[in-house]
Amino acid sequence: MSTKRRQYSAKFKLETVLEGIRGEKPVVQICRERGIRDNLYYKWRDAFQERAPGIFASQEQQDQAVSELETRVAELERMVGKLALENEVVSRSSVVRSGNIG
């Protein structure tokens, strides 16, 4: 007997967390009304609090982070290209050594 896990929309999660943060009702009551366990509410609340400061990060900070990631991707692409070339050289040299020149 398998139980299907419920999927909650981002809007539902946000509304639930904001209702708890406002403090108009106890968290236990909010969870009961919305049909969730309190540990799930706290998981959502912690994720919200962790990510919320990013909303207010300046565009300059976001652009800098993107630029750093793009630089890292380019560096990794160069490394992959170099390794692919080295792999090709090794592969060809092993063919030559075995006498299977085709």
Q: Which pLDDT tens digit goes with each residue over 61-99?
A: 888 889 999 999 999 999 999 999 999 999 888 877 776
Q: Give residue 68's domain range.
A: 58-102
Q: Does 14 share its domain with 51?
A: yes
Strand, coil or helix: what is 76?
Answer: helix
- Looking at residue 97, its pLDDT comes to 74
Q: Does 12 share its domain with 49?
A: yes
35 within some domain: yes
Q: Does 65 share its domain with 97?
A: yes
Q: Does 50 share its domain with 82?
A: no
Residue 45 near residue 20 (C-beta atoms within 8 A): yes
The pTM is what? 0.56
Q: Which residues contact 16 (CB under 8 A, 6 or more apart)?
A: 30, 34, 36, 41, 44
In percent, how much of the chain has pLDDT > 70?
A: 93
Domains contained in the chain, number: 2
Mean pLDDT estimate for the chain: 90
- Residue 100 clears pLDDT 70, i.e. is over it: no
Question: For helices 27-34 and 38-55, what crossing angle results, to 10°?
Answer: 100
37 within some domain: yes
Residue 31 near residue 37 (C-beta atoms within 8 A): yes
